[in-house]
Structure 1
Amino acid sequence: MRIITLLLLLKSTNLAAQLFSPSGYPQGYFRNPLSIPMRLAGNFGELRPNHYHMGFDIKTNARENLPVYSAADGYIGRIKIEPYGFGRAIYVVHPNGFTTVYAHLNAFNPTLEKWVKDQQYQQQSWKVFLELTPDLFPVKKGDFLAYSGNTGGSQAPHLHFEVRRTNGDVNVNPFLFGFPVADNIPPVLQRLAVYDRTRSVYEQSPRVYPVRAVSGSRYLPSPSVITVASPLVSFGIGAYDTQTGSPNHNGIFESTLLFDDEPVVGFRMDNISYNDTRDLNAHIDYKTKSQGGAFLQHLSELPGYMNSIYKRKKGDGVVDVSDGAVHQVAIVVKDASGNTSTLNYKVQYKLNDRGQEQPVTSAKKFYPLMMDGYESEECEFYIGERCLYDSVHIRYNKAANTNGQVVSSIHTIGAAYIPLRDSMLVRIQPNRPLTDAEKSRTIMQWFAGTKKEIQKVQWQGNWASARFRDLGNFQLVVDVEPPAVTPVGFADGSDVSKASRIVFTVADNFDRIKNVRTELDGKWLRFTNDKGKTFVYYFDEKCMSGQHRLKIRAEDEAGNVTEKVFDIIR
């Protein structure tokens, strides 16, 4: 029995290998960017909300301010500082055609830190994205770049590290470069999902089966023979990978579907562009995940998925079982080190296996790769050809709104569990005449459950328009409430000579601050704003001893402005 199992596993693995060719990236060119062993909290291609994880998250022993070193010779080509995302980041361009990225950093090396500060004062902006010439900051392999941190969209101290092709700025899986990360553990399979592909993937819930390891890295679902009531089906898996000595559940590298011993389709997490990272929503069962379920990865390529990570061998992954025969299915899952797990099962079509769910028919059907729209007296929306991943019926409803700040009906367009790749245009008419002053402060609000987002509208006659990348509920709101600026630990007339910094916060009723400007004695003063929570200025040569006037100006998305002035003594 053990020999038979091993033969089945080897056969499936060898057949799956026909789909993808070996990767040929330079080995040993890059060094570990830290001085401690590389242990991963996250890997390339790991599934995240609305995006793939595009590099390594390297653990820093739950500490900040570990030295970060250049992975190879090159020059610093870019510097990025932002409240979310990468926080503080350095891009090093290498002569072999690749660029490495180091993110969530604290202070840069002193020379670079001073240069960046000067650039921020020249641009009068703490948030910057700087392009550097090769002569400014050349680096050698192992040169000190910065200290690790927890800035930007980071939830705990670590170093986010990427490798990109310099030409085209496409991210490549760092595992393919031979970094010293020990991995002799095969991926773990958790569940199998089966979809009726006579219908949209967004108009059904898949049948999900638990799977179990039966010997080594071979898995079976329960039951091992799956009967289906649809003549066309596709499959998805729940799976994760980890590395030697790590408890973290990271993303898998590759998976291939075999049907009757023939490779059909597969995906590989080897290179992904940031332009395409949102397409994770076509790779996963977005509806299941958005409704609180697990990540399920499709073993089929949805028709609207452009620039796909999938490779086809014999179809798109939707298989025909209408003959009623018992078909052999195997799903082979690999990590980047070549460790392999295989899920084997059988599938058979039986018409009366279970009742079919009724398709949605009371709404207009929209298709991927086609531009279409819907128009009514108070609301219009237009979905572009690159918005949808699968065909789906999109319902429209209108409801009255009694909130005095809201100046339109509530317009419900589709459901939030239908993902959009590109933004759609939404146009709404107010339910009463608006003055010019009200129009100038009108925003469109999207909401679904507890999630909300706003956009400033553009007016065309009596129609207000804005673009959104989600379906759900939409309404027009007149926002006349300015942001609130709150000093922390100081007030007008305060003596701050014993303090090391000045801190204030800005809050808005719709949580959307468009711009904050700070001036000291009429000149721009650099306040940091990491994670968008507080604005912080650490005293330096820009504020010497004496009397000073600090002015803070905050503007929200609707255009409401608050200005506050504080006289302080340093």
Structure 2
Amino acid sequence: MRIITLLLLLYSTTLAAQIFSPTNYPQGYFRNPVNIPMRLAGNFGELRPNHYHMGFDIKTNARENLPVYAAADGYIGRIKIEPAGFGRAIYVFHPNGFTTVYAHLNAFDPTLEKWVKDQQYQLQSWKVLLELPADLFPVKKGDFLAYSGNTGGSQAPHLHFEVRRTEGDVNVNPFLFGFPVGDNVPPQLQRLAVYDRTLSVYEQSPKLFPVRAISGSTYITTPSIITVSSPMVSFAIGAYDTQTGSANHNGIYESTLFIDEKPVVAFRMDNISYNDTRDLNAHIDYKTKFQGGPFLQHMSELPGYVNAIYKHNSGNGAIDVSDGDVHAVSIVVKDASGNTSTLNYKIQYSGTEPERAEPAGKKFYPLMMDGFESDECEFYIGERCLYDSVHIRYNKSVNTNGQVVSSIHTIGAPYIPLRDSMLVRIRPTRELTDAEKSRTVMQWFAGSKREVQKVQWQSNWASARYRDFGNYQLVLDTEPPVIVPIGLVDGSNLSKAVRIAFTVEDNLTRFKNVRAELDGKWLRFTNDKGRTFLYYFDEKCMSGHHVLKIHAEDEAGNVTEETYNFTR
């Protein structure tokens, strides 16, 4: 039995190689960007909300301020600072055609830190994206760049590290460059999901089957022969990978589907652009995950998934089993180090399809533009919005909130993902003055989540674009944001303080612009993670009397200004 299993594994791996071209990336060119062993909290292609993880998350011993070094010769070509996302990041361009990215950083190298600060003051913006000439900050392999941190969208101290092709700015799996990450552990399989592909993937719940290992890397299902009532089926797997000595559940690198020992379709996490990272929502069973279930990775390509990570050998992964025969299925899962696991089972059509009622709503299709129109609401779904055909239901209900100047319009369900934004147009339930229109926003909500956008008016219709289905309404917002100082009042003596801090609150939880001026000049406040605005005293605020003016504006255009006199 063991010999047969090994032969099947070897055969499957050989066939998988026929689907993908061999990779050839420079080995040993890049060094470990930290001076501790490379241990990963996250890897390339790992599944995250609305995006693939696009690099390595390198552990920094659960602390900040470890030195970060240039992975190879090159020059600092870009600096990014933002409240979410990367936080503080450095991009190093290398002469071999690749770029390395170092994110969630704290302080940069002092010379670079001063230059960046000067640029922020010139631009009068803490949030910046700076492009640098090649001769300004050249670096050698191993040069100090910055200290690691926990800035931006980071949830714990670590270094986010990426490798990109400079031309096209496409991310490449860092594992392919031979970084010193030990890995002799094969991927782990958890479950199999089976779908009726005569239906939309969003109009069903898959049948889930447990899997169990019969050897270290060979799995089977329970039952071993799966009977289905649909003549067309597809599959998805729950799986994860780890590295040697790590308990983190990271992403798998590659998976190939075989039917009757013939390769059908496969996916590989090797090259993904940030332009396509949201397409993770087509790779996973989005509905199951949204409803609190596990991540399930499709072994088929949905019809609206353009520039997919899948490669076809025979079909897109939707399997015709209408002949009623028993078909052997294998799913071979690999990590980037070549460790392999295989799931084996059989599938058979019962010959009896259940009766089904047509779902409510209008049916929309991927790669087609279509819309819906009523007296008070219109929405238009573009060609690149949907991944699979689906019925979109619409409903109107009354809102008694005095701030709301429209009906509540429910469009679709939030468990149906949108790749691109759809256009939503709403007509208010009463005539609005021009002044009221100027303070009207569109609010989307689903469950506890909320988002507001400033609208565009055309006649008496307000429009905005959203990338989520749910509930929409027009809100007349005349309430300005509130500036909340922390330890600061008018007339404060701050001679012993090290910083000034404040927060901004808004009734619709969305403020747009915040500006601070000290003695009539722009003052740099940081706003990491979009929470507290912080200024640490420096040469911009010497001893003496000062006037701090803070200006805050919300999405509707309401403005608040506060002035604080203080002495330092």
TM-score class, shorter: over 0.9
Q: How far apart, in 2, do the equivalents of 1:357 and 1:88 lie?
A: 53
The answer for the alignment partner of 2:531 in structure 1 is 533
Q: How far apart, in 2, do the equivalents of 1:216 and 1:521 lie?
A: 69
CA drift at 1:299: 0.4
CA drift at 1:451: 1.2
Q: How far apart, in 1, do the equivalents of 2:280 and 2:174 lie?
A: 19
Is the 1:546–1:569 contact (alpha carbons within 8 Å) kept by the matching residues of 2?
A: yes
The answer for the alignment partner of 1:568 in structure 2 is 566
Q: How far apart, in 1, do the equivalents of 2:153 and 2:273 lie?
A: 19
* SS, match of residue 152 in structure 1: coil
Matches within 5 A, 1:214-225: 214-225=214-225
Q: How far apart, in 1, do the equivalents of 2:20 and 2:153 lie?
A: 34
The answer for the alignment partner of 1:434 in structure 2 is 432
The answer for the alignment partner of 1:35 in structure 2 is 35
Q: How far apart, in 1, do the equivalents of 2:368 and 2:43 lie?
A: 35
* SS, match of residue 250 in structure 1: coil
Matches within 5 A, 1:545-556: 545-556=543-554
CA drift at 1:14: 2.1
CA drift at 1:21: 2.1
CA drift at 1:100: 0.1
The answer for the alignment partner of 2:486 in structure 1 is 488
Matches within 5 A, 1:307-322: 307-322=307-322
Q: Does 2:39 match 1:3? A: no
CA drift at 1:12: 2.1
Matches within 5 A, 1:450-461: 450-461=448-459
CA drift at 1:452: 1.2
Q: How far apart, in 2, do the equivalents of 1:9 and 1:347 lie?
A: 20
Matches within 5 A, 1:133-172: 133-172=133-172
What code does the residue aligned with 2:72 have? A
Q: CA offsets per residue over residues 420-442 of structure 1, 9 Å max, x none?
A: 00000000000111111111110
Q: How far apart, in 1, do the equivalents of 2:24 and 2:356 lie?
A: 47
What code does the residue aligned with 1:295 have? F
The answer for the alignment partner of 1:344 in structure 2 is 344
CA drift at 1:524: 0.2
The answer for the alignment partner of 2:412 in structure 1 is 414
Is the 1:550–1:567 contact (alpha carbons within 8 Å) kept by the matching residues of 2?
A: yes
* SS, match of residue 223 in structure 2: coil
Matches within 5 A, 1:47-446: 47-352=47-352, 355=354, 357-360=356-359, 362-446=360-444
Is the 1:264–1:313 contact (alpha carbons within 8 Å) kept by the matching residues of 2?
A: yes
Q: How far apart, in 2, do the equivalents of 1:439 and 1:8 lie?
A: 67
Is the 2:265–2:310 contact (alpha carbons within 8 Å) kept by the matching residues of 1?
A: yes
CA drift at 1:356: 5.2
Q: CA offsets per residue over residues 504-545 of structure 1, 9 Å max, x none?
A: 111111111111000000000001100011000000010000
CA drift at 1:389: 0.4
* SS, match of residue 255 in structure 2: strand
CA drift at 1:359: 4.0
CA drift at 1:13: 2.1
Q: Which ranges of 4 or more aligned residues in structure 1 deviate by more than 3 Å?
A: 354-359
Q: Percent identity?
A: 81
Is the 2:322–2:351 contact (alpha carbons within 8 Å) kept by the matching residues of 1?
A: no
What code does the residue aligned with 1:237 have? I
CA drift at 1:19: 1.2
What code does the residue aligned with 1:541 have? E
CA gap 1:32/1:356 in 2 versus in 1, 3 angstroms: farther
Q: How far apart, in 2, do the equivalents of 1:414 and 1:563 lie?
A: 40
Q: How far apart, in 2, do the equivalents of 1:482 and 1:22 lie?
A: 58
* SS, match of residue 336 in structure 1: coil
Q: How far apart, in 2, do the equivalents of 1:234 and 1:16 lie?
A: 19
The answer for the alignment partner of 1:15 in structure 2 is 15
TM-score of the two chains, using structure 1 as the length reference: 0.99
What code does the residue aligned with 1:430 have? P
Q: CA offsets per residue over residues 91-131 of structure 1, 9 Å max, x none?
A: 00000000000000000000000000000000000000000
Q: How far apart, in 1, do the equivalents of 2:92 and 2:373 lie?
A: 50
Q: How far apart, in 1, do the equivalents of 2:131 and 2:161 lie?
A: 19
CA drift at 1:363: 1.3
Out of 469, 475, 478, the position equivalent to 1:477 is 475
Is the 2:227–2:348 contact (alpha carbons within 8 Å) kept by the matching residues of 1?
A: yes
CA drift at 1:16: 2.0
Q: How far apart, in 2, do the equivalents of 1:4 and 1:87 lie?
A: 52
Q: CA offsets per residue over residues 297-340 of structure 1, 9 Å max, x none?
A: 00000000001100001000001000000001000000000000
Is the 1:199–1:359 contact (alpha carbons within 8 Å) kept by the matching residues of 2?
A: no
* SS, match of residue 215 in structure 1: coil
Q: How far apart, in 1, do the equivalents of 2:54 and 2:80 lie?
A: 16
Structure 2 segments unaligned to the other structure (5+ residues): none
Q: How far apart, in 1, do the equivalents of 2:334 and 2:371 lie?
A: 42
TM-score of the two chains, using structure 2 as the length reference: 0.99
Is the 1:229–1:356 contact (alpha carbons within 8 Å) kept by the matching residues of 2?
A: no
Is the 2:406–2:428 contact (alpha carbons within 8 Å) kept by the matching residues of 1?
A: yes
Q: How far apart, in 1, do the equivalents of 2:488 and 2:419 lie?
A: 46
* SS, match of residue 568 in structure 1: strand
Q: How far apart, in 1, do the equivalents of 2:54 and 2:79 lie?
A: 18
CA drift at 1:11: 2.2
